[in-house]
Structure formats: C-alpha cells, structure tokens
C-alpha cells in the first residue's frame, strides 16, 4: 500500500498507509488532534521537486569543452545563462528556457508553448 503524509498544526509530519482511493483528506491522531494531508511532503518524499526551477537541461547541453562558448553565445543573444561544469544550461524559469532555446534555433515540441 502507498504511504501518504499528513501534517498537524505544529508542523509534525505523520506517514500512514492507505489503499489508493481510500485516502482521507485528514486523520485524527491518538491525542485527538487533526492532521491534514501534506501533498508537498509527499512530493518531497519521492524526490519530485515542488518548484521545478532552476532546471539543468541535459537535452540542450553541449560538451564540457564548449560550455564557455555556449555561455558567450547566449549572452551575446541577450539571454545570459549559467552553464554547468558538464556543459548543461541552467534555466531559471520557463520563459528563460524558451528564450535560450530560441536563441540557439531550438524549440521543445513537448512544451506546448
């Protein structure tokens, strides 16, 4: 059974197992206090970032030897972008990502924008 997270008013997180579809929005603890479902904690516990940005993009990366060249190219196009030591651009948000890809003549067919 999957594990779900609940948080009380003091911020303490409790983990409980429920069948999928039988998960309540809150639980009553032994001392009578109520703990509400903590969706953010569930995402963090499985390793999904709650924010998603900044994003290091390996798909639009270059060889590490070309990292400086990519950084200079994007800066010259008006889209200054940090490049990781592995040669991957680090996008600050979706708008920055779209501009940086466009500056390189690229686009993401799955981005729906």
pLDDT in tens, 30-39: 999 999 999 8
Q: DSSP secondary-structure letter at 111?
A: S
> What percentage of residues in the chain have a pLDDT greater than 70?
89
Of 57, 62, 64, 60, give the one whose Cα is nearest residue 93: 57
CA distance 14 to 38: 9
Structural domain boundaries of the chain? 3-45, 55-103
Of 57, 64, 54, give the one whose Cα is nearest residue 104: 57
**Stated pTM of the model:** 0.54
User: What is the per-residue pLDDT across 69-90, written as a single tens digit (0 to 9) for each?
Assistant: 999 999 999 999 999 999 999 9
Q: DSSP secondary-structure letter at 64?
A: G
Q: What is the pLDDT of residue 111?
A: 67
> What percentage of residues in the chain have a pLDDT greater than 90?
65
Residue 93 has pLDDT above 60, yes or no: yes
Task: Mention every residue, 6+ apart, whose C-beta is less than 8 A from residue 104.
Answer: 60, 73, 74
Which band of pLDDT confidence, cut at 50, 70 and 90, is reported for residue 51? low
């Amino acid at each position: 059974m999957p594990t779900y997270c609940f948080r009380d008013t003091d911020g303490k997180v409790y983990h409980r197992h429920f069948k999928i579809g039988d998960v309540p929005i809150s639980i009553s603890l032994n001392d009578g206090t109520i703990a509400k479902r903590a969706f953010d904690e569930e995402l963090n516990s499985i390793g999904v970032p709650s924010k998603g940005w900044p994003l290091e993009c390996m798909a639009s990366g270059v060889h590490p030897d070309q990292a400086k060249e990519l950084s200079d190219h994007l800066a010259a196009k008006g889209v200054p972008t940090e490049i990781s030591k592995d040669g991957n651009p680090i996008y600050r948000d979706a708008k920055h990502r779209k501009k940086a890809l466009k500056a390189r003549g690229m686009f993401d067919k799955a981005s729906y924008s």
